[in-house]
A and B are shown apart, each in its own frame.
Chain A
Amino acid sequence: MGDASTAAERVAAARVADPTDPEPRVTQGLIELRSGNLDAARATLAALHTDHPQHFDGNLLASIVAARLGDVDSAIYMANLALRDSADFRFTVRLELLDAIDAPSRSAALVAHYHRALRLVDTAQGAVAVRVAQEAVEAGDHVADAHFTIGVVRYREGRPDLAIESLQAAVAANPEHAEAWRWLALVHAERGDLAREMEARRRALDATPTDSRYRADLARALILKVGDDARALQILDGLPPGRERNADVVGLRARALVGLGRYDEALPLLLRATELDPHDPQRFESLGWAYERMNRMEDALRAYEQAAHLAPGRSFAHLQVAYQLDDLDRPSEAAEAFERALALLPPTEVLRRRGEYCHLLLRALRLREARACAERNIRFNTFDPYMAYLLRVVPAEAEDANEARGGGAEMS
């Protein structure tokens, strides 16, 4: 099974070269596990977890080590922690996982979690995970965790109705099962059941108040779906200080502050989020949104233009550019930006929004195009009064700028 001494030497060298890199520490944990030095492996992986709480291989390996030490509760907890984020895991960790499944007198509920992990590389493992978890339920072995595993696999198999049954059984067996609450929130969210989603998110955080993930999830839903910005800020205040380096968290706090009209506090955070994540167009869109509400239209335009530059295939940013240009009384440029957005929108949205475009053309005094646009649009919506009006005021023989001058002369 490999050359342990050479591996240990390379790990030591890699750790010296880059002490922040988590990978050598995973390898070190693996070496210690294989040499039977379980306490050392546990310490190595615990330290890794402190620095990199979401490291998939590290958490899964920590679960295997805990299982070898007979600590099934910790093993299940760490396995769930690893599986919160799907990832392609190391081949060597897979081998350890297979050994852990084959180990005698192991908890069926834990083995079900491992089969769920293997499902990431082999979907057929889902059925095995469900069967083993059902055995665990019958044996009364970590019933909540077993129901939870069944629920997650059912969801992944495209049966959210069955997933809900199992997840509800999990929280009935253990109302403190935070992951089951989180998954219930996901399924309710997918159905559009906002009240139940929020309740489940709140229960997840109540069950594990120290977990930053549940805290950030609840705050995000409060801001983006409910709009209770004050409550979201309270939730975010409970995050450990280190999380303020995370662009997502900074962006969330800023959005809540904008929602509350506390622009002076929000703006530095929004700018910081664009520095932390300069390639994410959504950071600039949030900045644009804040400027818009502050009535700083030129700044809003620049922020949206940057977002459109970063993601030229994203219709939202182009639409916002068009709206800002329109607000700045530059309808001709607004029409061009709108045209770019229309080219990216799905057909149903194009139908919904093309009327606005026709009027932008009229406002830009591009009369022939405006009329052609309205003629096209009214075919799909014969009742649209704006299109009917446009066709009434723009004669069929209209000539763009000349006609406008004619209209102006007539008026004066």
Chain B
Amino acid sequence: MRLIGYALLAAAGWWALDALATHQVTWPIFVVAMPLTAGALGALGVASLAHPFVARLTPDHGLLRLLRGLFRLGGAALLVGYVAALVVVLDKRLGRCEIAVRASQIVAIEDLWGPAGRVLSTARLVLRAWDGHGTVTVPLPPGERGRYWTGQSLRLRVCPGGLGIPYVWRFVVDAAPEYERVVRDNPAAREARRRLAFEHMEARRFRDASAAVWDYLTEHPEDVSYADQYGRWLANYRQFELALPLLRWQVERTGARRAYYYLGLTLSAAGEEADADETLRAGLARYPDAEDLRYLLAAQRRLPAAG
């Protein structure tokens, strides 16, 4: 039974370590919680292996007391690791990190553990703090060292953490500044303009994304599906005031049945029922056999009035 208990304890400790290591937690958590958890696992392992032999040989010896102390210390340290890991996991479960996306930039990349760090390819990133004051240090997982450079822009997903200590859930490279530079240097850069809009959307910079889309459409109005794609994407984030002009442009430009459908749908989702009704009617006038528009219009009428 005791062995099973140890095994369960070790498995839970391993889980805690894994939870902490998988995410780019901030430096204080990395240097406190992870070594504590790892040390606790080690201490418990040594104590549990040595305990039966020591107990048999010297029942009342000081060594036995030392081992018992090691057990208690290990247990306490493991508890700290569990709490830290639980905070990380609960944040994810409760979706508390989903909305806090912040822009940052790499200020420095420092190798860890001296020469050994170069072998293990482990480093820490010093980032601009998301609140604009000072810096934040984030450990970099092994193998990731070569992907980053000083001055590179990142997007951080920041979680509230426990006891008011926020931490970074994950970070991704924000390529928007790169594309902005390329577009500035080369106004003919069609693909870079497209990617710029995408990067802004990914970073939830909706106004910048919308501006980039319009900038692109001004130069390339033949790419009609682009307006539809971004119009719906913006609407997905409830950015209706930015989405609707794009979807209206799509209807005017193509007059496609699908364009009427999505404009009607988005107007309705935005609470502009009368305009939605009018759009669907206009679509039906143009496509009298469009069962989808017909269904939507009928369904629209069945809905209770907004407000």
CB pair A407 B256 closer than 8 Å? no
Tell me the B240-267 residues at the A interface (CB within 8 Å). Answer: 256-258, 261, 265-266
Q: Do residues A226 and B290 form an inter-chain contact, with CB atoms below 8 A?
A: no
Query: Which among A226, A385, A394 is the interface contact of B189 at CB below 8 angstroms?
Result: A226
- Name, among B109, B257, B291, the residue most crowded by chain A CB atoms within 10 Å (CB to CB): B291
Which residues in chain B, 180-199, are within 8 Å of chain A measured between CB atoms? 181-182, 185-186, 188-195
Q: Which of B118-141 contact A (CB under 8 A)?
A: 121
Question: With an 8 A cutoff between CB atoms, is A90 at the interface?
Answer: no
Q: Is the CB of A385 within 8 A of B182?
A: no
- Does B146 interact with chain A (Cβ within 8 Å)? yes
> In the complex, how many residues of chain B place their beta carbon closer than 8 angstroms to a beta carbon of chain A?
56
- Using known A-B contacts A365-B292, A407-B299, determine if residue A194 contacts B192 with beta carbons closer than 8 Å: yes
A226-B185 Cα distance, complex, nearest whole Å = 11
Instruction: Give A388 to B271 CA distance when docked, in angstroms.
Output: 12
Contacts of B149 in A (CB 8 A): 191, 193
Q: Is B27 an interface residue (CB 8 A)?
A: no
Which residues 344-399 of A have a CB within 8 angstroms of B?
355-356, 359, 362-365, 381, 383-386, 388-389, 392-394
In the bound complex, how far is the Cα of B175 from the Cα of A229, in angstroms? 21
Asked if B295 and A195 make an inter-chain contact with CB atoms under 8 angstroms apart, the answer reads no
Known: A160-B147, A195-B185. A385 touches B173 (CB 8 A): no
Asked if B48 CB lies within 8 Å of chain A CBs, one says: no
* A161 and B222 contacting across the interface, CB-CB below 8 Å: no
- Interface residue A207 (Cβ < 8 Å from any Cβ of B): no
Assess the B295–A404 pair: CB atoms within 8 A: yes
Known: A393-B299, A394-B299. A161 touches B146 (CB 8 A): yes
Does B171 belong to the interface (CB within 8 Å)?
no
CB distance from A262 to the nearest CB of B (A): 12
Of listed B173, B222, B258, B300, residue having the most chain A CB within 10 A: B258
Name the residue on B nearest A334 (C-beta): B258
B292 engages A389 (CB within 8 Å): no
Q: Is the CB of A190 within 8 A of B190?
A: no
The answer to whether residues A190 and B269 also contact, given A327-B258, A365-B291 and a CB cut-off of 8 A, is no
Nearest A residue (CB) for B199: A192
Number of interface residues of A (CB under 8 A): 56
CB pair B121–A293 under 8 Å, yes or no, is: no
Taking a contact as CB atoms under 8 Å apart, the answer to whether A228 and B178 are in contact is no
Say whether, besides A160-B146, A365-B292, A408-B294, A192 and B188 are in contact (CB < 8 Å).
no
Binds A, one of B18-26, B58-66, B67-75, B230-238: B230-238
**Selected contact of B121 from candidates A159, A229, A383, CB within 8 Å:** A159
Whether the Cβ atoms of B295 and A385 lie closer than 8 Å is no
Q: Are the CB atoms of B192 and A226 closer together than 8 Å?
A: yes
A-to-B contact residues, CB < 8 Å = 158-164, 187, 190-195, 198, 223-231, 259, 261, 292-293, 323, 326-327, 329, 331, 355-356, 359, 362-365, 381, 383-386, 388-389, 392-394, 404, 406-408, 410-411
Given A162-B146, A362-B292, A386-B236, output 4 extra A-B contacts at Cβ < 8 Å: A224-B191, A228-B189, A385-B235, A411-B301
Write 25 A-B pairs (CB below 8 A) sorted by A numbering: A187-B146, A191-B146, A192-B178, A194-B182, A198-B182, A225-B192, A226-B186, A229-B190, A231-B188, A259-B190, A327-B258, A329-B258, A362-B292, A363-B258, A363-B261, A364-B292, A385-B269, A385-B270, A386-B269, A389-B265, A393-B300, A393-B303, A408-B298, A410-B298, A410-B301
